[in-house]
Amino acid sequence: MFSLDAVLASLELEPVDTDRYRAGSIQLGGPVAHGGQLLAQSLVAALVGQDGKKVKTLHTVFARAARPDTPLDIAVTRQHSGRSLAASAVSISQGGRLCVQSQVLLTGDEPDFISYAETHPAPPPVPPTEPAGAAGVETNGSGGWQVRVVGDVDISDPDEVGPPELDVWIRWPGAPDDLVTSQALLALSTDSFLIGTAMRPHPGVGQRLAHVSLSTGVLSHTITFHQPGPASEWVLLAHRSPYAGHGRSYGQGSAYRGGGALVASFVQDNMIRAMAASGARHL
């Protein structure tokens, strides 16, 4: 689980040169920096100096894992900056080795010409009403990331089998309500559940085995933002994985505010395969 203070600290980019920054990582106790954190940092870096713009689409390729105990070097290449649209490439490296490369499309606000938004296919989702820390709600203390998996599904349990679908409520109580932070926290959150969703139909496979007997990792992640949604409010992440095979899985997700309004859409390509006998974790 993430504390809000730790996440916000990782989004504080230290300028070291023009369009060059340094940042730290959230310490979760594992050997690699969390992919969602890298998504959030890429989003924030792309917006620096782009006043009046917001992120429309963030597409990220994870070239190699980053270590959480080593500073990250972040470079921004501004490719285009117009009145209504802008584009930047953001790279995150360690020790001169590329870890993450993102293409970021930025947009200004424009009035509706046509307007349509998909709604949740089931009855309008109802956010959880339990107070923080109640049964069924995972929390990391005041201001931490709160997660509630619909139906109490346990994607970590290798013996629990179900369809490749998963609905998860998330929120960040106490988070700043500015758009940049809300988009960054949502991007981080969407990275977390699609591998587990793909594992659900397969007995003997679960996230508890990741980095133990299974090699898993996110290869690419794309999120498109449609409407603003405060990170402090409950958002439903509706996941589905239409394909898994040949050591890979593909997942799709939609983020809905309470009541069913679509906030964002995301897709992810992943690696899921048996770990080599040596325990090596090569991508």
Task: Name 166's bridge partners.
Answer: 239
What pLDDT digit, counting tens, does each position of 172-225 carry?
Answer: 999 999 999 999 999 999 999 999 999 899 888 877 777 777 888 899 999 999
d(CA 187, CA 135): 26
User: Which amino acid, residue 218?
Assistant: V
Q: Are 84 and 110 in contact (CB under 8 A)?
A: yes
Read off the pLDDT band of 280 (50, 70, 90): very low
d(CA 225, CA 175): 18
d(CA 273, CA 283): 10
User: Which amino acid, residue 255?
Assistant: A
**pLDDT at residue number 31:** 86
What pLDDT digit, counting tens, does each position of 20-52 carry?
Answer: 999 999 998 888 999 999 999 999 999 999 989
d(CA 163, CA 154): 13
Read off the pLDDT band of 123 (50, 70, 90): low
Average pLDDT over residues 117-136: 63
Q: Which residue has the higher pLDDT, 125 or 91?
A: 91
Question: How many other CB atoms are there within 10 angstroms of residue 274's CB atom?
Answer: 11
